[in-house]
């Protein structure tokens, strides 16, 4: 047994370092690649139930099943989901799909297809993505010499440079071996994920249902029709089911739905939990009727109140929703808070790595805490989040200076900023909320010669607006009163864009002097849309403004909004966050905010719009091969 380090050594390190001084929150990305201690005995009944279920669906009896976890906030559900993900992928036991951001609730099937594509582009823990793992399994089914996914990722780009029809040959061979596959383009796109960086990201984008440039679509041999969003939404579920069917030939699939709570509402007035619950029902029923080999399990993690609402209230004509959310068990499995023993074990886990990294041996595993104090804390049934915050605040051996809230917020902001990816560009209301928060910190200040007097997200008449104009700015511009209505319109459905622009150009109804539309430059407005004429009316006739949305200009605002939304989790106050925004000038120096306030200078060019004609579909030409079931990859490398 090692001799304990001296108290002087321990005190010096403890007073300079705090292993708990990290945000007590796990993000969606942490589920995939986060590194944090996990007490595997806590809620082991839940993770064991999932592992058992995966083995059951592997046999196809049943071929689709579902489990629900009833989880209070902070109980450690993210630790549990990450444990499940790692347990399934460590030995390639199953593909894992994680849904926690749902984007436009009006297009839930289309959003799910993107969730599916994004999950499969995550690493499987063995140096390749799940797409590449799937593609390799497909290739190995039709080749003479088997290769690991990593070997194929290294070989395919070189092979393609010598054999330009390689993907054609592989696609043909797989289609011959798998006659049940109804969409050869999906097979082709999956195979392209084994290609180089010039191919794989675009193949994944196509698999997500997103449009490619005509040149890139032609290069990959994939169809690229210009579709109305209604058609994309209607096709999305069948495309997702085809991907699930193909993947299930090689491994079971676990689809995990998380973060169903929230006040987001669809245009039809349904909450996020209701929309996602309806999606689970759609998936469950469709997979039961589809051709899946190794089976699919659906896991829904939701607060008890959300479960009660979904099973007791009729939503979206979804009778029997409870049976779809939890078909394996009659009721959800309840996730438990840590008791005294678990609290001691969690703290022990966190401190093991800390002391080992400093080559120290503490007098007891939970030093400088007292074990009895921790056990007593466990009697209060603390959430994991509350426990880690308590440890952060009490990890010391001498009077510890009060932590500056600015320091806490800066760390939280840096963390959230690092997590921001461009998926937010599909969420118009999220972007608008981030801008609105920024503007609320600028009241009374003059920017671009404009004095900001007030900002409101209650644009009246509320019923008529229906959230189309997300907020309104009252300002003085060179002595003239201005009322600027702001609409972030990232929608790709022509009717949605048009209805919002109708509101934005209704100056009299909403008491506006100027309308400001914000939209990404690559989201063209098609000439056959009503929005095409409304855009010209807004800019040319009404003195309004059309601003190109640049992702990098919004990311800081998205990050600080995330901190604002999680203020209780991070342990900081609203006032401290608003002061941080002002002091750091996140809003004051934001280029998009300046663009909104500046005098309109938009000029519409033909490049900003798209012609109405649908481009010809690019269909791959499959090359005949004599031995389609025994292609030797090595021979094609010669």
Which residues sit opposite 257 in a β-bridge? 99, 300
Model-level pTM? Answer: 0.72
Is residue 313 predicted with pLDDT exceeding 90?
A: no
CA–CA distance, 10 with 15 (Å, rounded to integer):
9
Tokens matching residue 576: 């401290």
Is residue 205 a contact partner of residue 212, using CB atoms and an 8 Å limit? yes
The radius of gyration computed from the CA coordinates of the chain, to the nearest angstrom, equals 27
Among the listed residues 49, 36, 637, the one whose alpha carbon sits nearest the alpha carbon of residue 335: 49
What tens digit of pLDDT does each residue of 245-288 get? 999 999 999 999 999 988 788 888 888 999 999 999 999 999 88
Is residue 82 predicted with pLDDT exceeding 50?
A: yes
**Range name among 41-50, 311-320, 524-533 with the lowest pLDDT average:** 311-320
Task: Please tell me the predicted confidence (pLDDT) of residue 247.
Answer: 94
Is residue 566 predicted with pLDDT exceeding 70?
A: yes
**Range name among 7-11, 322-326, 363-367, 609-613 with the lowest pLDDT average:** 609-613
| Percent of the chain surpassing pLDDT 90 | 55
The mean pLDDT value for 609-626 works out to 40
Task: Please tell me the predicted confidence (pLDDT) of residue 628.
Answer: 38
Is residue 164 predicted with pLDDT exceeding 60?
A: yes
What angle, 0 to 180 degrees and rounded to 10, lies between the N-to-C axes of helices 551-565 and 428-440?
80
pLDDT category, 178, cuts 50, 70, 90?
confident
CA–CA distance, 59 with 8 (Å, rounded to integer):
59
CA–CA distance, 359 with 362 (Å, rounded to integer):
10
What tens digit of pLDDT does each residue of 382-408 get? 888 888 889 988 898 865 556 688 988
Task: Please tell me the predicted confidence (pLDDT) of residue 619.
Answer: 41
Task: Kindly write down the DSSP assignment for every residue of 195-253, as one continuous string.
Answer: S-TTTHHHHHHHHTTPPPPHHHHHHHT-------HHHHHHHHHHHHHHHHHHHTTTS-E
pLDDT category, 459, cuts 50, 70, 90?
very high
Please, which residues have CB within 8 angstroms of residue 519's CB and are 6 or more apart in sequence?
Answer: 488, 489, 490, 525, 546, 547, 548, 549
Is residue 602 predicted with pLDDT exceeding 70?
A: no
Is residue 469 predicted with pLDDT exceeding 80?
A: yes
Is residue 618 predicted with pLDDT exceeding 50?
A: no
What tens digit of pLDDT does each residue of 343-386 get? 999 999 999 989 999 999 998 999 999 999 999 998 888 888 88
| Percent of the chain surpassing pLDDT 70 | 89
Is residue 624 predicted with pLDDT exceeding 50?
A: no
Task: Please tell me the predicted confidence (pLDDT) of residue 614.
Answer: 37
Task: Please tell me the predicted confidence (pLDDT) of residue 470.
Answer: 96
CA–CA distance, 428 with 519 (Å, rounded to integer):
9
φ/ψ (deg, to 5) at 565? -70, -25
Which residues in 11-61 belong to E strands, given as ranges?
none
Name the helix (H) or strand (E) containing 472: strand 471-477
Is residue 77 a contact partner of residue 337, using CB atoms and an 8 Å limit? no
For residue 368, whether the previous peptide bond is cis, meaning omega lies within 30 degrees of 0, is: yes
Task: Kindly write down the DSSP assignment for every residue of 240-257, as one continuous string.
Answer: HHHHHHHHTTTS-EEEEE
Is residue 37 predicted with pLDDT exceeding 80?
A: no
Task: Please tell me the predicted confidence (pLDDT) of residue 400.
Answer: 53
The mean pLDDT value for 421-435 works out to 91
CA–CA distance, 171 with 184 (Å, rounded to integer):
7
Task: Kindly write down the DSSP assignment for every residue of 345-375, as one continuous string.
Answer: HHHHHHHHHHHHHTT---SSTTTTS-HHHHH
CA–CA distance, 449 with 477 (Å, rounded to integer):
6
Task: Please tell me the predicted confidence (pLDDT) of residue 257.
Answer: 96
Is residue 627 predicted with pLDDT exceeding 60?
A: no
CA–CA distance, 122 with 507 (Å, rounded to integer):
46
Is residue 22 a contact partner of residue 354, using CB atoms and an 8 Å limit? no
List the end-to-end C-alpha distance of the chain, in Å, as a whole number.
59
**Range name among 107-116, 194-203, 265-274 with the lowest pLDDT average:** 265-274
pLDDT category, 605, cuts 50, 70, 90?
low
Is residue 617 predicted with pLDDT exceeding 80?
A: no
pLDDT, the chain, mean? 87
Is residue 574 predicted with pLDDT exceeding 80?
A: yes
Among the listed residues 256, 294, 234, the one whose alpha carbon sits nearest the alpha carbon of residue 108: 234
């Amino acid at each position: 047994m090692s001799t304990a380090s001296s108290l002087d050594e321990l005190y010096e390190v403890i007073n300079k370092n705090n292993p708990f001084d990290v945000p007590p929150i796990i993000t969606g990305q942490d589920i995939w690649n986060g590194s944090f201690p996990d007490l595997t005995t806590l809620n082991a009944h839940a993770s064991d139930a999932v592992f058992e279920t995966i083995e059951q669906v592997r046999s196809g009896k049943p071929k689709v099943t579902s489990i629900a976890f009833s989880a209070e906030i902070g109980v450690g559900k993210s630790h549990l989901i990450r444990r499940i993900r790692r347990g399934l992928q460590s030995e390639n036991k199953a593909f894992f799909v994680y849904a926690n951001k749902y984007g436009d609730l009006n297009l839930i099937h289309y959003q799910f297809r993107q969730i599916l594509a994004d999950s499969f582009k995550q690493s499987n823990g063995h140096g390749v993505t799940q797409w590449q793992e799937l593609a390799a399994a497909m290739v190995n089914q039709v080749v003479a010499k088997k290769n690991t996914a990593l070997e194929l990722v290294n070989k395919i780009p070189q092979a393609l440079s010598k054999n330009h029809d390689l993907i054609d040959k592989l696609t043909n061979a797989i289609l011959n071996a798998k006659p049940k596959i109804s969409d050869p383009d999906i097979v082709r796109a999956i195979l392209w994920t084994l290609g180089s960086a010039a191919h794989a990201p675009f193949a994944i984008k196509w698999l997500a249902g997103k449009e490619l440039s005509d040149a890139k679509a032609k290069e990959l041999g994939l169809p690229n029709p210009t579709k109305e969003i209604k058609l994309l939404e209607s096709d999305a579920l069948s495309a997702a089911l085809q991907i699930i069917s193909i993947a299930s030939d090689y491994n079971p699939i676990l689809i995990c739905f998380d973060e169903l709570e929230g006040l987001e509402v669809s245009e039809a007035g349904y909450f996020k939990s209701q929309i996602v619950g309806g999606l689970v029902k759609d998936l469950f029923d469709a997979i039961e009727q589809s051709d899946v080999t190794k089976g699919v399990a659906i896991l829904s993690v939701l607060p008890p109140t959300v479960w009660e609402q979904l099973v007791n209230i009729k939503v979206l004509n979804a009778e029997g929703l409870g049976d779809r959310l939890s078909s394996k068990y009659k009721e959800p499995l309840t996730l438990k808070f840590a008791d005294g023993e678990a609290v001691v074990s969690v703290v022990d886990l966190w401190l093991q790595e800390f002391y080992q990294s400093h080559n120290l041996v503490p007098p007891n595993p939970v030093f400088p805490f007292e074990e009895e104090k921790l056990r007593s804390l466990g009697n209060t049934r603390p959430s994991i989040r509350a426990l880690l915050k308590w440890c952060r605040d009490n990890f010391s051996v001498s009077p510890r200076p009060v932590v500056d809230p600015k320091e806490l917020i800066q760390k939280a902001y840096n963390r959230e900023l690092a997590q921001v990816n461009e998926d937010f560009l599909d969420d118009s209301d999220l972007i608008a909320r981030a801008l609105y928060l920024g503007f609320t910190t600028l009241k009374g200040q003059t920017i671009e010669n404009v004095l900001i007097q007030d900002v409101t997200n209650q644009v009246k008449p509320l019923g008529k607006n229906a959230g189309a104009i997300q907020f309104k700015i009252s300002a003085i511009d060179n002595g003239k009163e201005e009322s600027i209505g702001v609409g972030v319109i990232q929608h790709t459905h022509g009717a949605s864009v048009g209805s919002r622009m109708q509101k934005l150009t209704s100056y009299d109804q909403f008491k506006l002097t100027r309308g400001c539309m914000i939209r990404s430059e690559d989201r063209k407005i098609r000439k056959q849309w009503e929005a095409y004429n409304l855009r010209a009316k807004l800019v040319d006739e009404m003195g309004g403004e059309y601003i190109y949305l640049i992702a990098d200009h919004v990311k800081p605002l998205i990050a600080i909004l995330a901190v604002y939304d999680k203020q209780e989790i991070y342990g900081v106050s609203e006032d401290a966050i608003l002061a941080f925004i002002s002091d750091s000038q996140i809003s004051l120096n934001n280029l998009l905010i300046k663009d909104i306030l500046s005098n309109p200078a938009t000029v519409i060019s033909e490049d900003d719009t798209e012609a109405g004609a649908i481009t010809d579909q690019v269909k791959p030409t499959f090359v005949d091969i004599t031995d389609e079931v025994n292609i030797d990859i090595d021979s094609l490398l010669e």
